[in-house]
Amino acid sequence: MLDHVHIDLPERRLLIHGAWTDAANSLTFNTSNPATGEVITQIAEAGVLDIDAAVISARRALDEGPWPQMTGVQRGRILRRLADFIEQDRENLVVLEALDAGKPLAATRRQDLPAAIDCLEYYAGWADKIAGEVIPARPDALTYVTRQPVGVVAAIVPWNFPLMNAVWKIAPALACGCTVVLKPAELTPLSALRLGELALAAGLPPGVLNIVPGLGNVAGQSLIEHPGVDKISFTGSPQVGKHIMATAAQQCKRVTLELGGKSANIIFADADLDAAAHASGSGIFFNAGQVCSAGSRILVQESAHGALVERLVDRARRLKLGSPFDPETTMGPLISAVQQERVIRHIARGLEEGVRVACGGEVHGEQGYFVQPTVLASATNDMSVAQEEIFGPVATVIPFKDDAEAIRIANTSRYSLAAGLWTRDVTRAHRTAQALRAGTVWINTFGPTDTRLPWGGFGGDSGVGRDLGRTALDNYTEQKAVWLHLGKAA
């Protein structure tokens, strides 16, 4: 299937202070195609010395380079140019994401690339509008508040949406005047490296964006421990997020953590079941379920449970698993053999607890890391498959009696990232949305996001803080209060 696809691999070295360089220890690591398990290429593996060099570069760019002297208009112009370059390179980036992350071409064209471009354009517009304010505290003083860049930002991003998540962090940080050290996931470094090439072409000064692929326990750990880092922005697992928070606390670093999800998707009996089943299928099977906000807990009112499961199973069986380069493919592989084994282990545990497999539940094919789209029916909320984040194409369907029970089940989780609900009753819709503990609630839809809206959870294992929207500007700025004594009036 790759015979008809042109692949333009990016630089495979580290980007430090505007130059591509080998790792100081000359080590490399493999990045592989999850659809086949085959090695794509070798990538320079950042070590402790490389992380130190990248942070020093970012600090130098922040303190001494042209970046802090630029106006917001000039920074915004560079971000817009980068967005234009991504648009021009769109198809190449789509291919890189398909190759490295196993993401079907059509889905990446529809979701990841437009979202990345939109994010850059949005924050380019903010770059010259990050304003302070005058606060008349006393008559004998001029008192005002300014916003200044928080400093050097460590951006650590996951493998499920490699390019989009990188831009979600880079765009607001650069708009605010910060400098960034980006560590992409070791499983999916290619699109981040291509982003680095495009950033240099767009005119980003040396050191403003450094890209250091490497292993989490070496490069990631060195980055979060580095005293030259002022702010850590991380998207990934709750386990790693908690470790980052504990490490950052030793130096009182600021952190934003977007972590896990076990999102409840509530379907009341009065809902349009065809629409609910269709969107709920997308909500759990999109990107093979490797989505932090995947609608993995589908709560269905008892009288509609059988009909909904039947529709969901039909949706699952219509999905075509295969190469992400096949235009007919609607679901790709999981990212790795480790993830595939993890998902199968979760399903097996669910069976031991008494869940019913309505469809799927097994490995698909003999090549790559595929798992069949799976529907687990008649579950209870205390089962492991209803409480633990599986991060695979596994829908757990839980029946409920009434509104109160649906809300109780939905909120009985250590995750609070997102939720959905389906009903024709507008009063019930608003009442339920207000009662759900979730950072985003979708009504009669599931899954859309937009750069203009804040994204994050209500604490717990979904993390702290928000990406996106105007709120994200707070992540990358410090507020400074200034007093000017005016003396007594004449």
Active site residues: 258, 292
d(CA 94, CA 419): 29
Nearest to 368 by CA among 312, 325, 319, 327: 325
Contact 232, 464 (CB under 8 A): no
d(CA 102, CA 326): 11
Q: Quote the DSSP letter at residue 463.
A: E
What Å distances lie between residue 26 and 43, 187, 215, 220, CA to CA?
Answer: 10, 19, 14, 18
Contact 394, 284 (CB under 8 A): yes
d(CA 122, CA 392): 31
d(CA 422, CA 457): 21
Q: How many CA atoms are closer than 13 Å to the CA of 12, on its beta-carbon side?
A: 15
* CA–centroid distance for 230 within its chain: 21
The SS3 of residue 112 is helix
Phi, psi of 160 (to 5 degrees): -80, -35
d(CA 82, CA 200): 9
Nearest to 171 by CA among 211, 131, 207, 126: 126
Amino acid at 237: S
Four-CA torsion 267, 347, 163, 26, nearest 10 degrees:
170
Structure tokens at 61: 């760019």
Residue 160 CB neighbour total at 10 angstroms: 23
Strand order in the sheet with 141-149: 133-134, 141-149, 477-485
Q: What is the pairing mode between strands 394-400 and 297-301?
A: parallel
d(CA 173, CA 149): 8
d(CA 285, CA 332): 10
Residue 333 CB neighbour total at 10 angstroms: 29
Amino acid at 225: E
What Å distances lie between residue 416 and 145, 245, 419, CA to CA?
Answer: 33, 18, 8
d(CA 460, CA 259): 9
Exposure letters 236-259 (e unless 16+ CB within 10 A, then b): bbbebbebbbeebeeeebbbbbbb
